[in-house]
Amino acid sequence: MRIARLVSGLNDAPDTAIWTLVLPPWGPLYHWRSKDAGFQGKIKWQEFFDIDSLASYVPVMELEEYRAELGPWIDRVYYLQHYNDTFTSSEWKEKYEEQQCMERTPYIEEGPEEFSGWFWGYSDMSARHFGCLSVQGFGSTLKPLILSLRNTRSVMIDRAEVVLHDVFGDAVYWRIRHSMRFSKKLRDLGDEFRREVLNSDDTNDGTSLPLDWFTMKNRTRSAKGGPYLAVHLRRQDYVESRPSDVPDIPHAAEQIKQLLQRLRLEKLFIATDATEQEFRELQSFIPSAVRYHSPQGKKLKDGSLAIIDQWIAAHARYFVGSYESTFSFRIQEEREILGFD
Protein backbone atom coordinates (compact mmCIF):
# COMPACT_ATOMS: atom_id res chain seq x y z
CA MET A 1 0.00 0.00 0.00
CA ARG A 2 2.89 2.37 0.76
CA ILE A 3 4.39 1.80 -2.69
CA ALA A 4 1.03 2.03 -4.47
CA ARG A 5 0.60 5.48 -2.97
CA LEU A 6 4.15 6.39 -4.03
CA VAL A 7 3.44 5.30 -7.62
CA SER A 8 0.26 7.38 -7.63
CA GLY A 9 2.27 10.37 -6.44
CA LEU A 10 4.86 9.84 -9.17
CA ASN A 11 2.12 9.82 -11.78
CA ASP A 12 0.72 13.08 -10.40
CA ALA A 13 4.05 14.84 -11.00
CA PRO A 14 4.12 17.10 -14.08
CA ASP A 15 6.13 16.17 -17.16
CA THR A 16 6.84 12.61 -16.10
CA ALA A 17 6.25 9.26 -17.73
CA ILE A 18 3.50 7.04 -16.37
CA TRP A 19 4.84 4.65 -13.76
CA THR A 20 3.39 1.16 -13.33
CA LEU A 21 3.42 -0.86 -10.12
CA VAL A 22 4.93 -4.29 -10.82
CA LEU A 23 3.38 -6.98 -8.63
CA PRO A 24 6.09 -9.43 -7.50
CA PRO A 25 4.82 -13.00 -7.14
CA TRP A 26 3.91 -14.45 -3.77
CA GLY A 27 5.74 -17.12 -1.82
CA PRO A 28 7.05 -19.24 -0.51
CA LEU A 29 6.09 -17.86 2.93
CA TYR A 30 6.91 -19.16 6.39
CA HIS A 31 3.30 -19.94 7.29
CA TRP A 32 2.61 -21.87 4.07
CA ARG A 33 3.58 -25.32 5.29
CA SER A 34 1.14 -27.72 3.61
CA LYS A 35 3.14 -30.56 2.09
CA ASP A 36 0.41 -31.70 -0.30
CA ALA A 37 -0.19 -28.31 -1.97
CA GLY A 38 2.78 -28.46 -4.32
CA PHE A 39 5.30 -25.66 -4.81
CA GLN A 40 3.95 -22.50 -3.18
CA GLY A 41 6.04 -19.90 -4.93
CA LYS A 42 5.87 -17.69 -8.03
CA ILE A 43 2.13 -17.24 -7.39
CA LYS A 44 0.60 -14.43 -9.41
CA TRP A 45 -1.45 -11.73 -7.74
CA GLN A 46 -4.43 -12.65 -9.91
CA GLU A 47 -4.70 -15.88 -7.90
CA PHE A 48 -5.53 -13.87 -4.80
CA PHE A 49 -6.80 -10.47 -5.94
CA ASP A 50 -8.99 -8.82 -8.57
CA ILE A 51 -6.37 -7.25 -10.84
CA ASP A 52 -8.86 -4.89 -12.49
CA SER A 53 -9.79 -3.55 -9.07
CA LEU A 54 -6.14 -3.00 -8.14
CA ALA A 55 -5.57 -1.21 -11.45
CA SER A 56 -8.41 1.19 -10.68
CA TYR A 57 -6.06 2.99 -8.28
CA VAL A 58 -2.69 2.78 -10.08
CA PRO A 59 -1.52 0.99 -13.23
CA VAL A 60 -0.31 -2.51 -12.33
CA MET A 61 1.29 -5.48 -14.08
CA GLU A 62 2.34 -8.95 -13.00
CA LEU A 63 6.07 -9.69 -12.94
CA GLU A 64 5.60 -12.10 -15.87
CA GLU A 65 4.27 -9.19 -17.94
CA TYR A 66 7.27 -7.10 -16.93
CA ARG A 67 9.67 -9.88 -17.94
CA ALA A 68 7.94 -10.24 -21.30
CA GLU A 69 8.25 -6.50 -21.93
CA LEU A 70 11.63 -5.58 -20.39
CA GLY A 71 13.36 -8.92 -19.95
CA PRO A 72 15.00 -10.31 -16.81
CA TRP A 73 16.74 -7.03 -15.89
CA ILE A 74 15.89 -4.44 -13.24
CA ASP A 75 17.64 -1.11 -13.74
CA ARG A 76 18.07 -0.19 -10.10
CA VAL A 77 17.50 -1.86 -6.71
CA TYR A 78 17.34 0.11 -3.47
CA TYR A 79 17.63 -1.91 -0.27
CA LEU A 80 15.99 0.23 2.42
CA GLN A 81 17.47 0.48 5.89
CA HIS A 82 17.00 2.66 8.96
CA TYR A 83 19.52 5.30 9.94
CA ASN A 84 21.75 4.28 12.84
CA ASP A 85 20.10 6.83 15.13
CA THR A 86 16.50 6.38 13.96
CA PHE A 87 15.31 4.98 17.28
CA THR A 88 17.63 6.97 19.57
CA SER A 89 17.68 10.51 18.17
CA SER A 90 15.24 13.09 19.55
CA GLU A 91 15.14 14.80 16.16
CA TRP A 92 12.91 13.36 13.45
CA LYS A 93 12.76 14.66 9.92
CA GLU A 94 12.20 13.20 6.49
CA LYS A 95 15.47 12.27 4.83
CA TYR A 96 17.16 9.65 2.69
CA GLU A 97 20.73 8.95 1.67
CA GLU A 98 22.51 6.17 -0.16
CA GLN A 99 24.97 4.76 2.37
CA GLN A 100 27.08 1.73 3.10
CA CYS A 101 24.96 -1.33 3.83
CA MET A 102 24.55 -1.84 7.57
CA GLU A 103 23.82 -5.54 7.29
CA ARG A 104 24.39 -8.37 4.90
CA THR A 105 22.04 -8.23 1.92
CA PRO A 106 20.98 -10.98 -0.49
CA TYR A 107 22.59 -9.16 -3.43
CA ILE A 108 26.01 -10.03 -4.89
CA GLU A 109 27.99 -8.08 -7.49
CA GLU A 110 28.72 -10.55 -10.27
CA GLY A 111 30.37 -8.07 -12.64
CA PRO A 112 30.05 -4.57 -14.10
CA GLU A 113 26.40 -3.50 -13.78
CA GLU A 114 25.28 -6.99 -12.81
CA PHE A 115 23.94 -7.89 -9.37
CA SER A 116 22.37 -11.23 -8.57
CA GLY A 117 20.03 -11.79 -5.64
CA TRP A 118 16.66 -13.12 -4.57
CA PHE A 119 14.22 -12.11 -7.28
CA TRP A 120 11.19 -14.18 -6.25
CA GLY A 121 12.72 -17.45 -7.39
CA TYR A 122 13.75 -16.31 -10.88
CA SER A 123 17.44 -17.24 -11.10
CA ASP A 124 17.88 -15.49 -14.46
CA MET A 125 16.99 -12.04 -13.11
CA SER A 126 19.65 -9.44 -12.30
CA ALA A 127 19.93 -5.76 -11.43
CA ARG A 128 22.17 -3.25 -13.18
CA HIS A 129 22.66 -1.06 -10.12
CA PHE A 130 22.31 -1.78 -6.40
CA GLY A 131 22.56 0.38 -3.32
CA CYS A 132 21.51 0.53 0.32
CA LEU A 133 19.29 3.53 1.01
CA SER A 134 18.99 4.86 4.54
CA VAL A 135 15.58 6.45 4.86
CA GLN A 136 13.50 8.11 7.53
CA GLY A 137 10.06 9.05 6.37
CA PHE A 138 7.10 7.92 4.34
CA GLY A 139 6.55 6.26 1.00
CA SER A 140 6.32 9.71 -0.59
CA THR A 141 9.75 10.57 0.85
CA LEU A 142 11.24 8.53 -2.01
CA LYS A 143 9.40 10.49 -4.71
CA PRO A 144 12.14 13.12 -5.36
CA LEU A 145 14.79 10.40 -5.59
CA ILE A 146 12.90 8.38 -8.18
CA LEU A 147 11.95 11.45 -10.20
CA SER A 148 15.62 12.45 -10.29
CA LEU A 149 16.72 9.21 -11.94
CA ARG A 150 17.62 9.48 -15.60
CA ASN A 151 17.59 6.70 -18.19
CA THR A 152 15.89 4.43 -15.66
CA ARG A 153 12.88 2.39 -16.66
CA SER A 154 12.55 0.22 -13.56
CA VAL A 155 13.21 0.65 -9.84
CA MET A 156 12.83 -2.05 -7.21
CA ILE A 157 12.28 -1.03 -3.58
CA ASP A 158 13.36 -3.85 -1.25
CA ARG A 159 12.26 -3.83 2.41
CA ALA A 160 9.54 -1.24 1.78
CA GLU A 161 8.31 -1.80 5.33
CA VAL A 162 11.07 0.59 6.47
CA VAL A 163 9.02 3.57 5.24
CA LEU A 164 5.80 4.60 6.95
CA HIS A 165 2.31 5.04 5.55
CA ASP A 166 1.93 8.68 4.52
CA VAL A 167 -1.24 9.00 6.59
CA PHE A 168 -2.45 5.76 8.13
CA GLY A 169 -6.23 5.48 7.91
CA ASP A 170 -6.92 8.59 5.83
CA ALA A 171 -9.17 8.71 2.75
CA VAL A 172 -6.35 7.70 0.39
CA TYR A 173 -5.40 4.77 2.63
CA TRP A 174 -8.96 3.47 2.37
CA ARG A 175 -9.11 4.09 -1.39
CA ILE A 176 -6.12 1.81 -1.78
CA ARG A 177 -7.49 -0.70 0.71
CA HIS A 178 -10.86 -0.82 -1.08
CA SER A 179 -9.09 -1.56 -4.36
CA MET A 180 -7.55 -4.70 -2.84
CA ARG A 181 -10.57 -6.85 -3.56
CA PHE A 182 -10.06 -10.60 -3.39
CA SER A 183 -10.33 -12.62 -6.59
CA LYS A 184 -13.84 -13.63 -7.62
CA LYS A 185 -12.88 -17.31 -7.59
CA LEU A 186 -11.93 -17.21 -3.91
CA ARG A 187 -14.87 -15.02 -2.94
CA ASP A 188 -17.23 -17.44 -4.65
CA LEU A 189 -15.76 -20.40 -2.76
CA GLY A 190 -16.13 -18.54 0.51
CA ASP A 191 -19.70 -17.53 -0.32
CA GLU A 192 -20.58 -21.14 -1.19
CA PHE A 193 -19.35 -22.28 2.22
CA ARG A 194 -21.31 -19.50 3.92
CA ARG A 195 -24.52 -20.53 2.19
CA GLU A 196 -24.19 -24.30 2.62
CA VAL A 197 -22.65 -24.51 6.10
CA LEU A 198 -23.38 -21.25 7.92
CA ASN A 199 -26.77 -20.20 6.47
CA SER A 200 -25.23 -16.90 5.39
CA ASP A 201 -25.65 -14.81 2.24
CA ASP A 202 -25.12 -11.17 1.34
CA THR A 203 -28.81 -10.33 0.93
CA ASN A 204 -29.85 -11.48 4.39
CA ASP A 205 -26.59 -10.38 6.00
CA GLY A 206 -26.61 -6.85 4.57
CA THR A 207 -23.10 -7.26 3.15
CA SER A 208 -23.63 -6.73 -0.58
CA LEU A 209 -20.88 -4.73 -2.29
CA PRO A 210 -21.05 -2.77 -5.57
CA LEU A 211 -19.06 -4.13 -8.49
CA ASP A 212 -17.23 -0.81 -8.77
CA TRP A 213 -15.50 0.04 -5.49
CA PHE A 214 -15.36 3.73 -6.50
CA THR A 215 -19.09 3.91 -5.74
CA MET A 216 -18.49 2.89 -2.12
CA LYS A 217 -18.68 6.33 -0.54
CA ASN A 218 -19.95 7.04 2.96
CA ARG A 219 -21.13 3.47 3.42
CA THR A 220 -23.51 3.21 6.35
CA ARG A 221 -22.63 0.95 9.28
CA SER A 222 -25.65 -1.27 8.59
CA ALA A 223 -24.13 -4.72 7.97
CA LYS A 224 -25.79 -7.44 10.03
CA GLY A 225 -23.57 -10.42 9.22
CA GLY A 226 -24.31 -14.13 9.07
CA PRO A 227 -25.76 -16.05 12.04
CA TYR A 228 -22.41 -17.26 13.33
CA LEU A 229 -19.46 -16.24 15.44
CA ALA A 230 -16.05 -16.18 13.72
CA VAL A 231 -12.86 -16.60 15.70
CA HIS A 232 -9.30 -16.27 14.46
CA LEU A 233 -7.41 -18.70 16.67
CA ARG A 234 -3.65 -18.49 16.18
CA ARG A 235 -1.54 -21.50 17.09
CA GLN A 236 1.87 -22.77 15.86
CA ASP A 237 4.61 -20.14 16.37
CA TYR A 238 2.23 -17.82 18.25
CA VAL A 239 1.92 -20.34 21.07
CA GLU A 240 5.69 -20.33 21.53
CA SER A 241 6.38 -16.63 20.97
CA ARG A 242 3.40 -15.27 22.95
CA PRO A 243 2.62 -17.83 25.65
CA SER A 244 1.06 -15.20 27.93
CA ASP A 245 -1.27 -13.94 25.17
CA VAL A 246 -2.46 -17.22 23.65
CA PRO A 247 -4.72 -19.56 25.65
CA ASP A 248 -4.50 -23.31 25.32
CA ILE A 249 -7.36 -25.12 23.58
CA PRO A 250 -9.48 -25.82 26.70
CA HIS A 251 -9.28 -22.21 27.87
CA ALA A 252 -9.93 -20.87 24.37
CA ALA A 253 -12.97 -23.16 24.10
CA GLU A 254 -14.33 -21.92 27.42
CA GLN A 255 -14.06 -18.28 26.33
CA ILE A 256 -15.70 -19.05 22.98
CA LYS A 257 -18.58 -20.94 24.62
CA GLN A 258 -19.27 -17.99 26.88
CA LEU A 259 -19.32 -15.68 23.84
CA LEU A 260 -21.71 -17.95 21.95
CA GLN A 261 -24.08 -17.98 24.91
CA ARG A 262 -23.91 -14.22 25.42
CA LEU A 263 -24.43 -13.53 21.70
CA ARG A 264 -27.16 -16.19 21.42
CA LEU A 265 -25.45 -17.88 18.49
CA GLU A 266 -24.92 -21.57 17.82
CA LYS A 267 -22.75 -21.68 14.69
CA LEU A 268 -19.01 -21.16 15.05
CA PHE A 269 -16.44 -20.65 12.29
CA ILE A 270 -12.77 -21.01 13.19
CA ALA A 271 -10.03 -19.46 11.05
CA THR A 272 -6.90 -21.10 12.36
CA ASP A 273 -3.49 -22.55 11.66
CA ALA A 274 -4.14 -25.24 14.27
CA THR A 275 -3.32 -28.84 13.47
CA GLU A 276 -6.19 -31.25 12.84
CA GLN A 277 -5.53 -32.77 16.26
CA GLU A 278 -5.87 -29.37 17.95
CA PHE A 279 -9.04 -28.62 15.99
CA ARG A 280 -10.60 -31.95 16.95
CA GLU A 281 -9.76 -31.13 20.57
CA LEU A 282 -11.61 -27.83 20.18
CA GLN A 283 -14.58 -29.66 18.64
CA SER A 284 -14.68 -31.96 21.67
CA PHE A 285 -15.59 -28.87 23.69
CA ILE A 286 -17.65 -27.12 20.97
CA PRO A 287 -19.10 -29.66 18.49
CA SER A 288 -20.58 -26.89 16.30
CA ALA A 289 -17.11 -25.54 15.40
CA VAL A 290 -16.29 -25.71 11.67
CA ARG A 291 -13.30 -24.71 9.58
CA TYR A 292 -12.79 -24.39 5.83
CA HIS A 293 -11.17 -27.15 3.78
CA SER A 294 -10.42 -27.35 0.06
CA PRO A 295 -13.48 -28.51 -1.94
CA GLN A 296 -13.60 -32.09 -3.14
CA GLY A 297 -11.21 -32.52 -6.05
CA LYS A 298 -9.60 -29.08 -5.62
CA LYS A 299 -6.38 -28.69 -3.65
CA LEU A 300 -6.02 -25.02 -2.84
CA LYS A 301 -2.71 -23.55 -1.81
CA ASP A 302 -2.28 -22.12 1.68
CA GLY A 303 -2.52 -18.51 0.50
CA SER A 304 -5.90 -19.16 -1.13
CA LEU A 305 -7.18 -20.91 1.99
CA ALA A 306 -6.07 -17.96 4.12
CA ILE A 307 -8.00 -15.52 1.94
CA ILE A 308 -11.14 -17.67 2.05
CA ASP A 309 -10.79 -17.81 5.84
CA GLN A 310 -10.60 -14.01 5.92
CA TRP A 311 -13.63 -13.66 3.66
CA ILE A 312 -15.80 -16.01 5.71
CA ALA A 313 -14.70 -14.51 9.04
CA ALA A 314 -15.33 -10.98 7.75
CA HIS A 315 -19.01 -11.80 7.11
CA ALA A 316 -19.78 -13.14 10.60
CA ARG A 317 -22.29 -11.52 12.94
CA TYR A 318 -19.42 -11.09 15.38
CA PHE A 319 -15.69 -11.55 15.04
CA VAL A 320 -12.98 -12.15 17.65
CA GLY A 321 -9.31 -12.07 16.65
CA SER A 322 -5.96 -13.02 18.12
CA TYR A 323 -3.98 -10.42 20.04
CA GLU A 324 -1.75 -8.24 17.80
CA SER A 325 -2.26 -10.50 14.79
CA THR A 326 -1.93 -8.89 11.36
CA PHE A 327 -4.31 -11.53 9.99
CA SER A 328 -6.97 -10.52 12.53
CA PHE A 329 -6.38 -6.86 11.71
CA ARG A 330 -6.97 -7.49 8.00
CA ILE A 331 -10.24 -9.25 8.78
CA GLN A 332 -11.32 -6.24 10.81
CA GLU A 333 -10.49 -3.98 7.85
CA GLU A 334 -12.64 -6.17 5.58
CA ARG A 335 -15.48 -5.81 8.07
CA GLU A 336 -15.10 -2.02 7.94
CA ILE A 337 -15.39 -2.15 4.16
CA LEU A 338 -18.46 -4.40 4.39
CA GLY A 339 -20.20 -1.89 6.66
CA PHE A 340 -19.88 -3.35 10.16
CA ASP A 341 -19.61 -1.09 13.19
Note the Cα 208 to chain centre separation in Å: 22
Average confidence (pLDDT) over 92-112: 96
H/E stretch holding 334 reads helix 326-338
pLDDT at 219 over 70: no
**Fold match between 1-171 and 184-338?**
yes
The pLDDT score that the predictor gives to residue 213 is 67
Judge: domain 184-338, CATH 3.40.50.11350. Answer: yes
| Residue 130: DSSP 8-state | E
The string of pLDDT tens digits covering residues 222-233 is 899 999 999 999
- Where are the strands (E) in the chain, listed by range? 21-23, 60-62, 73-81, 95-99, 108-111, 114-116, 126-136, 155-158, 226-233, 267-272, 289-290, 316-320
- With 0-12 / 13-18 / 19 or more C-beta atoms within 10 angstroms meaning exposed / middle / buried, residue 136 is buried
Q: What is the CATH number of domain 1-171?
A: 3.40.50.11340
pLDDT at 163: 96
Least confident of 36-40, 281-285, 289-293: 36-40
Rounded (10°) angle between helices 249-263 and 276-285: 50
Band of the pLDDT at 39, cuts 50, 70, 90? confident
State pLDDT tens for residues 105-139: 999 999 999 999 999 999 999 999 999 999 999 99
The full set of domain ranges for the chain reads 1-171, 184-338
Please tell me whether the peptide bond between 28 and the residue prior to it is cis, using omega within 30 degrees of 0.
yes
Residue 232 Cα to chain centre, angstroms: 16
Find all residues with CB under 8 Å of 218, minimum gap 6, and list them. none
When mean pLDDT is compared across 128-137, 203-212, 327-336, the lowest value belongs to: 203-212
Given a cut of 60, is residue 198 above it in pLDDT? Answer: yes
When pLDDT is averaged across residues 64-78 and rounded to a whole number, the result is: 98
> What is d(CA 71, CA 246) in angstroms, rounded to the nearest whole number?
47
Q: Burial, 308: exposed, middle or buried (Cβ in 10 Å; 0-12, 13-18, 19+)?
A: buried
